[in-house]
Structure 1
Amino acid sequence: MSETMTAAAPDLFAKFDEIIQIRENLLASGVEDPFSLVMEKVLSPTRAICNGRDTILLGTYNYMGMTFDPDVIAAGKDALDQFGSGTTGSRVLNGTYQGHREVEDALREFYAMDHAMVFSTGYQANLGIISTIAGKGDYIVLDIDSHASIWDGCAMGKAEVVPFKHNDIEAMEKRLKRIPEGAGILVVLEGVYSMLGDVAPLKEMVAVAKKYGAMVLVDEAHSMGFIGEHGRGVAEDQGVLDQVDFVIGTFSKSVGTVGGFCVSNHPKFEIMRLVCRPYVFTASLPPSVVATAATSVRKLMHAGNKRAHLWENSRRLHGGLTELGFTLGTSEPQSAIVAVIMPDLQRGASMWEALLHEGLYVNLARPPATPANMTLLRCSLCAEHSSEEVETILGMFERAGKAVGII
């Protein structure tokens, strides 16, 4: 009688062992877990009780401070009363309520474009639009530092992916030159890159893309509401918005809620509602969310004073940290993100903890999310931070930096 030998099944979690070990080593050093912070109570766009401490928030992406705007909150409460807590359906079935149409109308007006399509998250907006537009046999030329949702959209669509060095116009053109004649090409760029807060040279890049017959998609998640005369982003600021085929954005930054969108002037764009799988096969946003988003987007059309104050905050924080001796991700302020480069993960985590004990929350970002294997503290300023709060923040950085030995 023969016995059947059964080999032990491989551990499907083995691929994560290195990350597990890094996390265990970090926690074993006694540092608070920087990825498990709990906000017990949110007091305003700039303050919360975090892990039991009254804390200034400098890592929330709430750029325009709309999360506590009275009109925005009132719109959400009213929608809850009128339409209930959720749609329980896809946009192409029972998931389109009056509020979904209203927020798409607001986006068309905000961007002065013909079409707007709202997704349940910003991640899904990139995933859906990119994977649907560029498929097998097409080419996607993209910046190497593109967001994970962009890379995942490329993978889902099975297009040929051609990355180029970050913000390098010459490298981008070299890639475009090599693409076979007659192939479909989508160039994907970001207005502001979320890790370092640096801005893309969109004016030059869009010109190069059009020279080779490519369509252009720009992700303005971290610039919408803040950059540009009307807050339409870097493409507006650099005068090329009318040459961009698709603008992707999110409601989870300047708009102050959750959701994603794409706006476009392409005459065939509406067919996306029937062929884009991440749009068709997911439940639509709750009525309260689209009501808050529509109200916020319309208020951002007239937020010039808030944009000006946010720029003041960005310049002061960037200049103050530079004077203190910190190494920053950009030589000058380019957005509402100020990245403070750390020597390594251990000291970055120690600095993060020291700031938290001072009463300041920032994001600790590490590889593989960061470029060039950097560890950094990412500061996201808000239009609701007062000038006095920015000075307080600088004092916190000085004390924590000296205590940890960063400066």
Structure 2
Amino acid sequence: MMADGPATGDLFSKFDELIAMREGLLAGGQEDPFSLVMEKVLSPTQAICNGRDTILLGTYNYMGMTFDDDVIAAGKQAYDEFGAGTTGSRVLNGTFYHHRDVENALKEFYAMDHAMVFSTGYQANLGIISTIAGKGDYIILDIDSHASIWDGCKMGDAEVVPFKHNDLDALEKRLRRVPEGAGKLVVLEGVYSMLGDIAPLKEMVSIAKKYGAMVLVDEAHSMGFIGEHGRGVCEAAGVIDDCDFIIGTFSKSVGTVGGFCVSNHPKFEIMRLVCRPYVFTAALPPAVMASSATSIRKLMHNGNKRAHLWENSRTLHSGLRALGFQLGTDEPQSAIIAVVMPDLERGAAMWEALLKEGLYVNLARPPATPANMTLLRCSLCAEHSSEQVQTILGMFERAGKAVGII
């Protein structure tokens, strides 16, 4: 029997405010915006959600590769020939033919010397950042960086120096203050996922190189879509050869799951032995890798789909502005269009009104969003037809008027 003592602290008490917020949102019988179930997925742009036929506008399936016939066929063949999983780490028994094939496809796609595949995009940032920048090194990063970037910084124990979002002067001031001789890594994103805005990479990479820093760019939300060959904002800005590391994910344009890093650094291959989130986790199933390799190689030749996706983005952006909605960017900069809500309560009401119309979007809330904004985040797909985009605008108009947003 334990001796009497002070009451044990409730380890869940730190979440009480969030629990209360969630309960308040659901008190009126509203559907939970963070627990939606896809009961049946019909295509890259349509699913059955809560028993309704629903247009998907919040899945990051930018190039619509999830239902590509060749991508699915490659996965089925790998299942039949190699089984369901690897049951091992990449440095033990977990490297199958398909893992090397994906890495070769990435090297072809980016025209780079090295490629390393992780089990998720989150792990790619976690692993690369924490391994290359450690105690005594400095990481200079945009304040709006993704959670996986911040977690990679924390895990590596480097000195973390954030700067104001997309602010060139702030970046240079931070770099100027880094002690002479210290290791420096500048971490940027091509497209920032909350507002869908792009980084001024041409200027930022130039500033980083001026101060002798290495550069890592996360192109999760631009790979496959932005740039002449779909290599991302780095390519569009003409600085891809000056980027030391490019991080990406398969769960957006590629349409599968996994993460990666490509690099031209001559010592890069040692990362396979020293990067803990790569060494100490199971390798992805061969079917996922076979589908991914097929998708990546098809993305190299998808200029027509990229052009249609840009058309969809421009049409939705201008249409929502014409209806009176406040948007996260003045012009469409990517396949993400963020609709700014007055507050969380009306944002959640608008989300539910859209779902009842037959449209799924993401409800994004603080603290994940910049400046404590509540956003309805739309991610367009190259498979959305022009007619679907017009239907979506009608849904936004009806829901916006019903909720009192417009």
Which TM bucket (shorter chain)?
over 0.9
Distance 1:21 1:337 in 2: 30
Deviation for aligned residue 1:6:
1.2
Aligned to 2:62: 63
Distance 2:17 2:168 in 1: 35
Report Cα offsets for 1:344-382 as digits up to 9, x if no partner: 000000000000000000000000110000000000000
Distance 1:4 1:48 in 2: 57
Equivalent residue of 1:378, what SS?
Answer: strand
The reply to whether residue 20 of structure 1 matches residue 13 of structure 2 is no
The reply to whether residue 196 of structure 1 matches residue 195 of structure 2 is yes
Distance 1:303 1:248 in 2: 21
Equivalent residue of 1:85, what SS?
Answer: coil
Look up the equivalent residue of 2:219 and give its one-letter code.
E
The reply to whether residue 76 of structure 1 matches residue 87 of structure 2 is no
5 Å-filtered alignment, 1:389-400, equals 389-400=388-399
Report Cα offsets for 1:102-141 as digits up to 9, x if no partner: 0000000000000000000000000000000000000000
Report Cα offsets for 1:281-318 as digits up to 9, x if no partner: 00000000000000000000000000000000000000
Look up the equivalent residue of 2:189 and give its one-letter code.
E
Aligned to 1:175: 174
Aligned to 1:184: 183
Aligned to 2:345: 346
Look up the equivalent residue of 2:159 and give its one-letter code.
E
Aligned to 1:153: 152
Equivalent residues, number: 405
Report Cα offsets for 1:23-78 as digits up to 9, x if no partner: 01111133210001001000000000001100000000000000000000000000
The reply to whether residue 44 of structure 1 matches residue 46 of structure 2 is no
Aligned to 2:269: 270
Distance 2:4 2:62 in 1: 60
Aligned to 1:296: 295
Distance 1:51 1:59 in 2: 16
Distance 1:201 1:14 in 2: 41
Over the matched positions of the two proteins, sequence identity in percent amounts to: 84
Structure 1 residue ranges (4+ consecutive) displaced by more than 6 angstroms after TM superposition: none
Equivalent residue of 2:354, what SS?
Answer: helix
Look up the equivalent residue of 2:24 and give its one-letter code.
N
Aligned to 1:138: 137
Distance 1:195 1:258 in 2: 20
Distance 1:391 1:88 in 2: 46
Deviation for aligned residue 1:7:
1.1
5 Å-filtered alignment, 1:4-403, equals 4-403=3-402
Deviation for aligned residue 1:5:
3.3
Distance 1:196 1:222 in 2: 11
TM-score (norm: length of structure 1): 0.99
Unpaired runs of at least 5, structure 2: none
Deviation for aligned residue 1:4:
4.9
Equivalent residue of 2:326, what SS?
Answer: coil
Distance 1:61 1:389 in 2: 17
Look up the equivalent residue of 1:368 and give its one-letter code.
P
Unpaired runs of at least 5, structure 1: none
Distance 1:339 1:86 in 2: 37
Look up the equivalent residue of 2:185 and give its one-letter code.
L
